[in-house]
Amino acid sequence: MTRAAWFAGALAALAAGGLGYAAGRQDGPVSALVDRARHGVAGLLPAAQGGDAAPAPFKPLSGSVVYYRDPDGKPVYSASPMVTADGRAFRAVHASEDVRFDDGDGEAVPADMAGNGPQPVEAAKPGGDRRILYYRNPMGLADTSPVPRTDSMGMDYIPVYAGEDESGVVTVSPGKVQRMGVRTALAERRVLSVPVRAPGSVEEDERRISVIAMRTDAFIETVEPVTTGDHVHKGQPLLRLFAPEINAVAAQYLTSIGYAGGRRRLENLAIPPEVIDEIERTHTVPPSIVWSAPRDGVVVERNVSDGMKAKSGDVLFRIVDHTRVWVLADVTERDLAGVAEGQKATVQVRAFPDRAFTGTVTRIYPHLNMETRTARLRIELPNPDGVLRPSMYADVAIATGDAKPVVAVPDDAIIDTGERQIVLLDRGEGRFEPKAVKVGQRGQGYAEIREGVTAGDRVVTAANFLIDAESNLKAALHALAAPKDDRPAASLGGKP
């Protein structure tokens, strides 16, 4: 290469550099021509280096300048023309260019857009101008402003447009939702049955106990071979006795048959009705009287022997019917509100752990035990085969709650602040709304929601506390408790 050719090439390079610098300083046809040349050179570079990639097709630039960005591709932006520290101009970005302001999970911070220029994201949105209702705090706090402003850290307030007003709704990016492991569940109508468990014991039914006692002095002639524990039937003979007073009253009755007074005196001495009928039929006074069992049952007590004298008031036999028994259970004071008469109860005894007996709560005793702070209740249940014996220990489970389905959510969905209960409603697309609820009965891992949530709502059951920390939920809850609406002021152009 000659010296003249080398000198001519150097002059051409200097001229091209000057022309490119001038084009970067102003937006015009030359600038577009330089951009076209730059794109063309970039498309030729892979082929020059032996690459296989095809050059990207050139797209003509159109539309107004949206913003300016660093010429080296750094995440620094400006709403007005500016230069770098070494004097190079920022590159103009037109509305037709496909740009992003984030890396997929966070916003890029503009260099000098502290309310001095239009927001780039909104300027790039198609669909025309939209009315700004107000500006909200960028950290999710409950304060708003009708005019653009910055917070104490210099961050711009975020505009809220018509149709986007969701007071109290917290927005979390999809990436963070996935990393936090957020899980949700539907609020459904279900029957909540909360068993109240209590210890108890099997006891005799007080209404099924019969006592055979003398109302006058008598001499026992013979006792039938009936012992304690034997099962007897109604009318079965138990003993034969002689009582002088009974014989005297029977003789008077024979002389006044037909008068109610004579028979009444025999009944007052507890003489069995069949004996009185026999006296009327035979018109004779028997030398001794056979005493029979008044009911079916088990002999639990025998205090009589052949030839003994029984005084008036002595208990000779005690007979109990065990076809129905009681279970007396002691319920703690805390669980007493959930128990009511008429509820079903399941009883299990330790002698038969594989069997369950079903009964009904028939009585809740009115007094509490001062030492144990428990209330006693009575459960009646059938015992046809007699396997339930008095004084057996029993484990009682009382099914409390209404049989009608109620709206319920999992227990994990409820955030208890100490003053109120909150659930997070999933509104979709990373939007979560805190909702105050009234919690009713709990059981089986679910809680009844009496107010605040309806069937079909989706609630957050996992990572709800992380959402609380991520979005400053406490401020949103405060706004929910005492809502502050600045939108009228914003629409009228008032001050915050």
CATH of the domain at 426: 2.40.420.20
The pLDDT, as a whole number, for residue 295 is 92
Whether 341 and 483 share a structural domain: no
Contacts of 355 (CB under 8 A, 6+ apart): 348, 349, 387
Let me know the angle formed at the C-alpha of 89 by 85 and 90, rounded to the nearest 5 degrees. 95
Whether 458 and 328 share a structural domain: no
**pTM of the predicted model, to two decimals?**
0.51
Whether 392 and 417 share a structural domain: no
**Segment 434-464, tens digit of pLDDT:** 888 999 888 778 888 998 898 989 998 887 6
Q: Tell me, yes or no, whether 110 lies in a domain.
A: no
- Which is more confident, 73 or 413? 413
Q: Residue 47 pLDDT > 70, yes or no?
A: no
pLDDT-wise least confident of 78-82, 258-262, 329-333:
258-262
Q: Is 370 helix (H, G, I), strand (E, B) or coil?
A: coil
Whether 341 and 361 share a structural domain: yes
Confidence class for position 146, pLDDT limits 50, 70, 90: confident
**Residue whose tokens read 């929601």:** 449
- Quote the mean pLDDT of the chain: 77
Q: Which CATH number fits the domain that encloses residue 380?
A: 2.40.30.170
Q: Tell me, yes or no, whether 98 lies in a domain.
A: no
Confidence class for position 115, pLDDT limits 50, 70, 90: very low
Say which amino acid occupies 310.
Answer: A
Whether 443 and 468 share a structural domain: yes
Q: Tell me, yes or no, whether 266 lies in a domain.
A: yes
Whether 200 and 334 share a structural domain: yes
User: At which of 346, 365, 400 does a domain end?
Assistant: 400
**Segment 340-388, tens digit of pLDDT:** 899 899 999 999 989 999 999 999 999 999 999 999 999 999 998 889 9
Q: Tell me, yes or no, whether 479 lies in a domain.
A: yes
Q: Tell me, yes or no, whether 66 lies in a domain.
A: no
Confidence class for position 483, pLDDT limits 50, 70, 90: very low
Whether 327 and 394 share a structural domain: yes
Domain count, the chain: 4
Whether 343 and 377 share a structural domain: yes
Q: Residue 150 pLDDT > 60, yes or no?
A: yes
Q: Tell me, yes or no, whether 209 lies in a domain.
A: no
Q: Residue 414 pLDDT > 80, yes or no?
A: yes
Q: Residue 121 pLDDT > 50, yes or no?
A: no
User: At which of 400, 419, 434 does a domain end?
Assistant: 400
Q: Tell me, yes or no, whether 90 lies in a domain.
A: no
Whether 200 and 180 share a structural domain: no
Q: Which domain range does residue 461 map to?
A: 170-190+405-492
Whether 200 and 327 share a structural domain: yes
Whether 329 and 200 share a structural domain: yes
**Segment 268-288, tens digit of pLDDT:** 888 888 888 888 888 888 888
Q: Tell me, yes or no, whether 111 lies in a domain.
A: no
Whether 200 and 329 share a structural domain: yes
Q: Which CATH number fits the domain that encloses residue 280?
A: 2.40.50.100
Rg (C-alpha) for the chain, rounded Å, is: 48
The pLDDT, as a whole number, for residue 436 is 87
Helices and strands of the chain, counted as H and E runs: 10, 29
Q: What is the mean pLDDT of residues 141-155?
A: 80
Q: Residue 192 pLDDT > 60, yes or no?
A: yes
3-class SS string, 383-437: CCCCCCCCCCEEEEEEEECCCCCEEEEEHHHCEECCCCEEEEEEEECCEEEEEEE
User: At which of 400, 415, 431 does a domain end?
Assistant: 400
